[in-house]
Structure 1
Amino acid sequence: MSTFFAPLVRYGYAPFMLLGVNGTGIVLAAAGAPKFWLLALLILAIAVSFVVERVLPYQDSWNTSQGDLGRDTAHTFVNETLILVSVGVIPLLAAVIPGDGIWPGDWPFVVQVLIAILFADFGITLTHYASHKIGVLWRFHAVHHSVTRFYGLNGLMKHPVHQTVEMAVGVTPLLLLGIPVPVAAAMSLAVAVQLLLQHSNADYHVGPFKYVLALNEGHRFHHLKWAGIGDVNFGLFTLIWDHLLRTYSYDPGRRFTTADLGMAAKPDYPVTYLAQLAEPFKPVAPQSARGTRPSTSVKP
């Protein structure tokens, strides 16, 4: 790639997604645009993510399907549909929740979206943390950790039960506060964009923001296959809670390959969509699903 385009992609991709795509979504939602425009914006974001991963990949081999593209597409479709449904039922839920809520509806729309993102970040991050500590939650969350390559669609490769639990914890406080549907819609787009960035195979850089924002440089450490090592960097949007929980970890000299990803004790974890849906309901194996720690370390 030319010396002109490399820096443009490396330093411009994250701002384009975080500010450009999300900003456009906020403008559309604030203007009351039909929801299909937000869906079209998400499709554009997915397309851009695929292009950037091929223009400036972190690992060339992660751009090649390992027979998982169809499965990951199914996960993405089902889980994104769940997110859209959750937004659609907000008026129905609001009707049965007592009280009018205390949502600051007269504040600037962009501030309302940021408030929603911070609340969702807190709830989903704690649910993610609990999913590594509580056996029944881990069984459903393990689907996400079975990946052996790191690229955009991995973000929504989740068991729908676990996706539902995460969204319920993240959204319920917002419902109690009385979040408006347009704000929830803009937040939902931001969640999808964040997952694309967080699992991206693009070699983009965000400088010192990597210590605060939960993007791919830090999230790769969360997907290390060995027990204990991957129990870091749980944040969805930010790493604030990881710093407070003392679960933040980053080593600037570490490079990742397929050999570092997955679950060491379950190399035979199901790879097809329907088999992954069924796996959490099978009898519990005596051995930990996350494997044993090798003689390596991650610097705090």
Structure 2
Amino acid sequence: MEPMDLFGLQALLICALIFVPLEHILALRTQQKILRKGLGTDVIYAVVNGAFLKICLVLIAAAAMSASAILVPQRITVTVSSQATWLQVMEIIVLADIGVYASHRAFHAIPALWRFHAIHHGVEELDWMVAFRAHPVDQIVTKAVSLLPVFFLGFSSKAIAVYFIIATGHALLLHANVRMKFGPLKWLIATPQFHHWHHADQRDAYDKNFASHLAVIDALFGTFHVPGSKMPEKYGVDEPIPADYIGQHGYPFVRGG
């Protein structure tokens, strides 16, 4: 893996060329600046933590596939990997998002875990770059819970690669400063409105909308919250999250926050 690929600088530039104009054309909050407060911190997250996460994903995949070779009959992994790529991708989306939902809900429900996840919720202005701001513990646990079954069952590398492209683009869109209408599809797939409400610092929106791709999962478990066409009035958390990159990484370990 080349350094440029490890740090994802080319991919980050491509994403910027897509989402900066998109946020201008479909702006939800027209007064929000591109160079908003905390953007520099999120760039560090995208580059440094992004590289670290890639290394961890390689290790997670290696561990899962090694265990799979021992525990899963070959006929199962062969059957899974021989399916059409598009079907594998759909199955990965469902399987991974069930894991994301469970992990995400746990990070909200368990106080010790919330301190890690609060870093992601500490942003008061949402845009596409906010998707990168997450504590490494939060990222690694969530990725492990959601992707271990995927690697374990033997999905093809092509299908997994396509899934990662879709998952990354979707995550950036969910956090983007955009207003988009999805009609009745809002009950099926996660939309920017759906995820903005997850970030809302409003009592009626607390602990809602945990899925990353399929809003129907939240609908099934009673945690779906998309009130008409309304958007949140404010984002963030009421606790004092450090503004700097180092402080945010240490925050979960400091007694009393």
TM range (shorter): 0.7 to 0.9
Distance in 2 between the 1:271 and 1:106 partners?
A: 48
| Shift in alpha-carbon separation, 1:248–1:219, aligned structure 2, 3 A | same
Q: How many pairs does the alignment contain?
A: 245
Partner of 1:273: 245
1:123 counterpart (74, 96, 99): 99
Farther off after superposition, 197-206 or 144-153: 197-206
Cα contact 2:65–2:154 (8 A) shared by 1 = yes
Partner of 2:186: 210
Q: In the TM superposition, what is the alpha-carbon distance from 1:84 to its structure 2 partner?
A: 3.0
User: Which consecutive residues of structure 1, in runs of 5 or more, have no partner in the other structure?
Assistant: 1-35, 286-300
Q: In the TM superposition, what is the alpha-carbon distance from 1:88 to its structure 2 partner?
A: 3.4
Partner of 2:39: 69
Normalization by structure 1: what TM-score? 0.74
Deviation by residue 1:231-285 (Cα, 9 ceiling, x = unmatched): 111110011221111011111242334xx11112x2x321111110010000035
Amino acid at match of 2:27: P
Deviation by residue 1:51-81 (Cα, 9 ceiling, x = unmatched): 1101221002333433311101112223433
Q: In the TM superposition, what is the alpha-carbon distance from 1:83 to its structure 2 partner?
A: 4.5
Cα contact 2:64–2:148 (8 A) shared by 1 = no
Distance in 2 between the 1:262 and 1:231 partners?
A: 13
Partner of 2:25: 55
2:15 counterpart (45, 49, 61): 45
Cα contact 1:222–1:230 (8 A) shared by 2 = yes
Cα contact 2:42–2:129 (8 A) shared by 1 = yes
Question: What is the alpha-carbon root mean square deviation over aligned residues?
Answer: 2.3
Cα contact 2:201–2:236 (8 A) shared by 1 = yes
Cα contact 1:83–1:188 (8 A) shared by 2 = no
Structure 1 vs Structure 2: percent identity of aligned residues?
25
1:169 counterpart (122, 140, 145): 145
Amino acid at match of 1:88: V
Q: Which structure: greater helix fraction?
A: 2
| Shift in alpha-carbon separation, 1:111–1:188, aligned structure 2, 3 A | same
Q: In the TM superposition, what is the alpha-carbon distance from 1:43 to its structure 2 partner?
A: 4.4
| Shift in alpha-carbon separation, 1:176–1:244, aligned structure 2, 3 A | same
Farther off after superposition, 204-213 or 83-92: 83-92
Cα contact 1:84–1:188 (8 A) shared by 2 = no
| Shift in alpha-carbon separation, 1:83–1:206, aligned structure 2, 3 A | farther
2:235 counterpart (255, 261, 280): 261
Partner of 1:243: 219
Partner of 1:180: 156
Distance in 2 between the 1:195 and 1:214 partners?
A: 10
Amino acid at match of 1:251: P
Cα contact 1:155–1:195 (8 A) shared by 2 = yes
1:1-300 aligned at under 5 Å gives the runs 43-89=13-59, 90-91=61-62, 93-97=64-68, 98-100=70-72, 102-103=76-77, 104-227=80-203, 229-257=205-233, 260-264=234-238, 266=239, 268-284=240-256
User: Which consecutive residues of structure 2, in runs of 5 or more, have no partner in the other structure?
Assistant: none
Distance in 2 between the 1:180 and 1:81 partners?
A: 23
